[in-house]
């Protein structure tokens, strides 16, 4: 009988702890169109795999009569489970308890799972829905954030770190997601900002609502803070599961492979005529990327930000790969400040986690203009060449059309360390386009002479053969054979072994 009482008491306490802030608060959360922390975790993880840690933890704060109100779990749900059978660690702020605010106690819960994830080499996923620092705890709460940021930094490049913003995320709380590898936001439900609309109005006298200040659309298209904008929480959680399918569990593992049912020899006849005859007519680079990949599938990252460069994941011959591509359909595919930042960070992520890089290149140069120069295009553009040169994963580059000047150099050219450099017969690899070159070389000549000079320049330089003669292009290929040629290059470089000189870390031009 004694044992039955013990077990019954435990079941009652466990059930109460599972309700977080209580039935009324759960109802409010649902009314706002948001799931609870535990519902989110159940949806994210494989069914029946979640193991909750620290379910009965309570805060130790006595300020503002806080000792009279204690909720088991203290506004945070944490633990571990599996996604597609692979171990992951997860923590979710529980908005039903104290508005999901951070205390010293629940910060320690987060640090515990962060440490476990790092020790066990498994990804960690943070589900953010929080009112920020718990004001009643003062500096203790702020110290809690600091300890989380420290763990984020130590885990960077060792295990994948993913953040989902599923409600408010304000003030110092923003910096943990910002330190992680990928951020997901939900349209109209997620908001991130360092200072909210009221503070902005008080300080700068600007009137702005939270959606305009830090909504999902702003951060996915203008600031580049978030990588994925989803229509619902369900879509967000399913997208996280999909993203993880391309990533290894830690930096000591190879990128995942899967059985390839798509013929590796498959030729794509549509590519033969995809690229326009005129170098000034745009086309969509995704019309090359998608049909080449396994099952025509490309998982794009940051699709709404810096659209002149395209990045994302795919499988090629069953191998997980990272794709970086210029986009001629947007700003002619030029590199600017935002595109440089977007590409460089993605390249470095892939290198951290042993994911081979495939670059589709069609770049006329860097975006000219006072604004770009004054905002530091030199410093930002240097990030791409740094990221590519530093990367030791297999690097394969395909020049589809233009590869001009400094932009050619930074886009994984042969001298900056690419393993295999391919080009289509219509590729133009030169210091600049014919018109620009002739206007410099023949500035005092007549129009007829310039026209003749342009013909000669096009004949001599607007092709891939000069570069191939010098060994900067390894192979010129037919567009229809792109898929098999890339798979062959990947297979060749599979056992690549390269290490950079020993150092604490480099000094990327940030």
Based on the residue annotation, tell me whether 172 is a catalytic residue of this protein.
yes
| Residue entry with tokens 């295009």 | 377
CA distance 116 to 90: 11
Which of these, 354, 277, 342, 274, lies nearest to 303 by C-alpha position?
342
CA distance 224 to 478: 36
Residues sharing a CB contact under 8 Å with residue 364, sequence separation 6 or more, in sequence order: 332, 333, 334, 402, 404, 407, 433
Catalytic residue among 171, 312, 322, 381: 171
SS3 content of the chain, % helix, strand, coil (to 5): 45, 20, 35
Cβ–Cβ under 8 Å, residues 107 and 144: yes
SS3 402: strand
The two tokens of residue 230 are: 């989803």
CA distance 411 to 166: 36
CA distance 130 to 73: 14
Based on the residue annotation, tell me whether 471 is a catalytic residue of this protein.
no
Based on the residue annotation, tell me whether 79 is a catalytic residue of this protein.
no
Based on the residue annotation, tell me whether 381 is a catalytic residue of this protein.
no
CA distance 303 to 492: 31
Which of these, 70, 92, 95, 93, lies nearest to 17 by C-alpha position?
70
The two tokens of residue 453 are: 């000079």
CA distance 163 to 179: 9
Catalytic residue among 121, 157, 172, 318: 172
Catalytic residue among 318, 406, 417, 436: 406
Residue 424 gets the label, from left (phi > 0), alpha (psi -120 to 50) or beta, of beta
Secondary structure of 17-66 as H, E, C letters? HHCCCCHHHHHHHHHCCCCCHHHHHHHHCCCCCCEEECCCCCCCCCHHHH
CA distance 490 to 254: 14
Which of these, 168, 163, 173, 82, lies nearest to 133 by C-alpha position?
173
Q: How far is CA 431 from the centre of its chain?
A: 32
CA distance 266 to 358: 18
Catalytic residue among 155, 306, 387, 407: 407
| Distinct helix (H) and strand (E) counts, the chain | 19, 17
Which of these, 431, 421, 340, 344, lies nearest to 389 by C-alpha position?
344
Q: In Å, what is the CA distance from 104 to each residue of 20, 37, 144, 220? A: 18, 19, 5, 31
- Please give the positions annotated as active site: 171-172, 406-407
């Amino acid at each position: 009988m004694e044992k039955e009482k013990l077990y019954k008491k435990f079941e009652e306490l466990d059930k109460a702890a599972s309700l977080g802030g209580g039935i009324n608060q759960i109802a409010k959360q649902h009314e706002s169109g948001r799931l609870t922390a535990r519902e989110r975790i159940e949806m994210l993880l494989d069914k029946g795999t979640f193991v909750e840690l620290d379910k009965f933890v309570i805060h130790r704060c006595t300020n503002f009569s806080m000792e009279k109100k204690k909720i088991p779990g203290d506004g945070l749900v944490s633990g571990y489970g599996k996604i597609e059978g692979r171990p992951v660690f997860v923590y979710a702020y529980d908005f039903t308890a104290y508005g999901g605010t951070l205390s010293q106690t629940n910060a320690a819960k987060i640090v515990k799972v962060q440490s476990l994830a790092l020790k066990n080499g498994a990804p960690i996923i943070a589900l953010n829905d929080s009112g920020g620092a718990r004001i009643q705890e003062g500096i203790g709460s702020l110290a809690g954030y600091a300890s989380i940021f420290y763990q984020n930094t130590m885990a960077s490049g060792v295990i994948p770190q993913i953040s989902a913003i599923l409600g408010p995320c304000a003030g110092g709380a923003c910096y943990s997601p910002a330190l992680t590898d990928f951020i997901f936001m939900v349209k109209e439900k997620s908001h991130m900002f360092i200072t909210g609309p009221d503070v902005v109005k008080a300080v700068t006298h600007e009137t702005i609502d939270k959606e305009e200040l830090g909504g999902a659309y702003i951060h996915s298209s203008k600031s580049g803070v978030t990588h994925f904008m989803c229509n619902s929480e369900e879509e967000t959680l399913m997208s996280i599961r999909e993203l993880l399918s391309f990533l290894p569990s830690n930096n000591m593992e190879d990128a995942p492979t899967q059985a390839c049912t798509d013929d590796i020899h498959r030729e794509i006849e549509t590519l033969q005529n995809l690229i326009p005859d005129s170098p000034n007519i745009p086309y969509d680079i995704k019309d090359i990327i998608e049909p080449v990949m396994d099952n025509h599938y490309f998982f794009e990252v940051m699709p709404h930000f810096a659209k002149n460069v395209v990045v994302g994941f795919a499988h090629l011959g069953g191998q997980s790969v990272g794709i970086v591509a210029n986009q001629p359909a947007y700003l002619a595919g030029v590199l600017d400040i935002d595109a440089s930042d977007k590409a460089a960070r993605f390249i470095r992520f892939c290198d951290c986690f042993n994911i081979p890089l495939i670059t589709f290149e069609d770049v006329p140069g860097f975006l000219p203009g006072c604004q770009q120069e004054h905002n530091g295009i030199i410093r930002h553009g240097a990030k791409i060449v740094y990221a590519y040169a530093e990367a030791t994963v297999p690097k394969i580059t395909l020049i589809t059309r233009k590869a001009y000047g400094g932009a050619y150099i930074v886009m994984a050219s042969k001298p900056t360390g690419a393993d295999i450099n391919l080009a289509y017969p219509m590729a133009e690899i030169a210091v600049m386009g014919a018109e620009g070159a002739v206007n410099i070389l023949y500035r005092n000549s007549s129009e007829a002479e310039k026209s003749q000079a342009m013909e000669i320049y096009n004949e001599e330089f607007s092709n891939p053969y000069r570069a191939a003669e010098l060994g900067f292009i390894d192979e010129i290929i037919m567009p229809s054979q792109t898929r098999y040629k890339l798979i062959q290059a990947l297979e060749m470089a599979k056992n690549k072994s390269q290490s950079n000189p020993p150092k604490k870390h480099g000094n990327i031009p940030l």
